Structure 1
Amino acid sequence: MNLEVLVSTMNQRDYSLINKMNIQSNAVVINQCNDNSQIEFLHSQHRIRWINKSERGLSKSRNLAIKSSEADICMISDDDLIYVDDYVEKVKAQFDKYPNADIITFQVEGIEEKFKDYHVEVRELNYLTSMKVASVEIAFKRDSIIGNKIKFDENFGAGARFQMGEENIFLTQCLQKGLNILYVPVKIADLHIGESSWFNGYNKDYFISKGAQFTAMSRMLANVYIIQYVLRKHKLFKNDISRFRALKLMMIGRKEYLNNIRNIGDLNERY
């Protein structure tokens, strides 16, 4: 069982990121910059494939990394992570221990401040619990993803029209395909908590993106997701926007996403 870290980054001018992240395994690095080139080299006897691409978009970067990987186990990664020294052994051990798991999510601790609270026991994730997962916690069997033709939705994520939710949509697709997702209370990395590349407060773009995200997860249940979010999360945004306004913006996001999908379908039929 071999493992690769799939790193999404931007505007790197050298290869020092490998040391900064404490990468001690094979890796695929997608560096979105003003260049299109590729290089392969060894770092401490580990194979690093460094791909420079001029296109933009986090989900595009993730998809290219998965496509370029040749590993059995892939770990989704960003450039603000620092891996623990024995992450390779830890991740492999969990996939050995739970052979029926297609995806395993792990723990990541914040450096500057607390990242999140974690459960202390192993548990299977479902449609609701998977919505709390961050992309950098995810490791998966590549064959399970490729074999089921699962990709990150390129309408979502930093650099796309809708700025959030790409990992939640990804995991929803996995569950819809019948894949098994497991959480284990095992730490694999520390995370620098800096300014978000997409979160600029509970504003118009946030709620439009949220509505689109829920619709991408399930067109049938989108309205249920939207309404429950307004009811349950009101305390988070009550000082910024009214419930009615939040609901209206999420419905706009739902409509915009559906129109976008229809337009893509029309183009596919035409060409």
Structure 2
Amino acid sequence: MPEKKLSVEVLCATMFQKDFSKIEEMNIKTDVFFANQSSEHFYAEKEFNGYLARMVTTNQRGLSKNRNTALIYAKGDICVIADDDVEYFDDYEQKIVSAFEALPDADIIMFNLSSKNGNSERAMKEYSKIKKVGKLSRCGTASYRIAFKLSSVQKANIWFSPIFSTGSKYYCGEDAMWINDAIKKGLKVYTYPEYIASIDYGNSTWYDGLLEKHYFTKGAYIKALYGKLCICYIPYYLIRASKRSKLSFTERLKWILNGVKAYNADLSYDEFIDKN
């Protein structure tokens, strides 16, 4: 008896959607779940081209909370995390399934996305080969690059941090923390050199040109991720992307340390500024 084909489901975090028009905009050709944040609560579903689209709308706020809603409702054997400005290539399902078949021990695989606008300043690092990701790896993580075996993530009980992400206390870092948590819990994570979609990096809601708030958030992220060992990782984040920052070395260090202090005091960027 032939093996059952792995099912793929896109898990898309979005806001203020009234219908399923994102299916066509994103070129979705698999099942899809939309975690939709708005001002109301409702459930909707739609069949299209032999696939099922589902949408749960809530009035909560914060990208991590939205992604966690998608994790709660996810059904696919393999789930693909998405933002609503991703446009999938026609063969994305085949590429993703083939990657998991080629790496049967993989729980999570991260793929490439091309830039719609050619904005190299914001574009993510390209994965040029299959590589296992370890605890100390720096792999250019972004949520929309991630595909995972749902059963593995459910068994390991992995969720996105509600205080890190757009619309939360600290505006980014949730994706890297999610991957780090997965590795800590024994899941096997790989990068894979296939392009599955394109994205408009110019629409980024978190990119601030590597200014004060960016380094402040990195400080909070480093503290949350490494605890007392965070001091060992500060040099890496000081140097990383330093040529693209308008801040001096001293200013970058200052704001990273401010972020560490603020995390210890449970303060957001605005709260920290008000108190200092």
Q: TM-score, normalised by structure 2?
A: 0.88
In 2, the alpha carbon distance for the partners of 1:4 and 1:257 equals: 35
Match of 1:101 in 2: 106
In 1, the alpha carbon distance for the partners of 2:208 and 2:228 equals: 29
In 1, the alpha carbon distance for the partners of 2:9 and 2:45 equals: 14
Matched, 1:209 2:220: no
User: 1:81·1:190 contact (CA, 8 Å) conserved in 2?
Assistant: yes
Match of 2:92 in 1: 87
In 2, the alpha carbon distance for the partners of 1:206 and 1:232 equals: 12
Of residues 249, 254, 257, the one that matches 2:255 is 249
CA drift at 1:244? 2.3
Mapping of residues 1-271 of structure 1, within 5 Å: 1-113=6-118, 114=120, 115-237=123-245, 240-260=246-266
% same residue:
32
Return 247-256 or 176-185, whichever deviates more: 247-256
In 2, the alpha carbon distance for the partners of 1:81 and 1:36 equals: 25
1:145 maps to amino acid: V
In 2, the alpha carbon distance for the partners of 1:195 and 1:27 equals: 22
2:266 maps to amino acid: N
SS at match of 1:133: coil
User: 2:87·2:197 contact (CA, 8 Å) conserved in 1?
Assistant: yes
Deviations 1:93-114 (A, max 9, x none): 1111111001001111111114
CA drift at 1:125? 1.5
Q: 1:169 to 1:131 in 2, by over 3 A?
A: farther
SS at match of 1:52: strand
Return 111-120 or 180-189, whichever deviates more: 111-120
Match of 1:264 in 2: none
Task: Give the aligned CA root-mean-square deviation in angstroms.
Answer: 1.7
User: 2:218·2:237 contact (CA, 8 Å) conserved in 1?
Assistant: no
1:15 maps to amino acid: F
User: 1:173·1:217 contact (CA, 8 Å) conserved in 2?
Assistant: no
Q: 1:212 to 1:117 in 2, by over 3 A?
A: closer
CA drift at 1:11? 1.4
Return 58-67 or 120-129, whichever deviates more: 120-129
Deviations 1:224-249 (A, max 9, x none): 22222214443232xx3232232222
CA drift at 1:116? 3.8
CA drift at 1:6? 0.2
Q: TM-score, normalised by structure 1?
A: 0.90
1:11 maps to amino acid: F
SS at match of 2:206: coil
Q: Which runs of 5+ in 2 are unaligned?
A: 1-5, 268-276
Residues matched between the structures, number: 259
CA drift at 1:46? 0.8
Deviations 1:72-112 (A, max 9, x none): 11100011111111211111111111110010011111111
Match of 1:267 in 2: none
In 2, the alpha carbon distance for the partners of 1:186 and 1:251 equals: 37
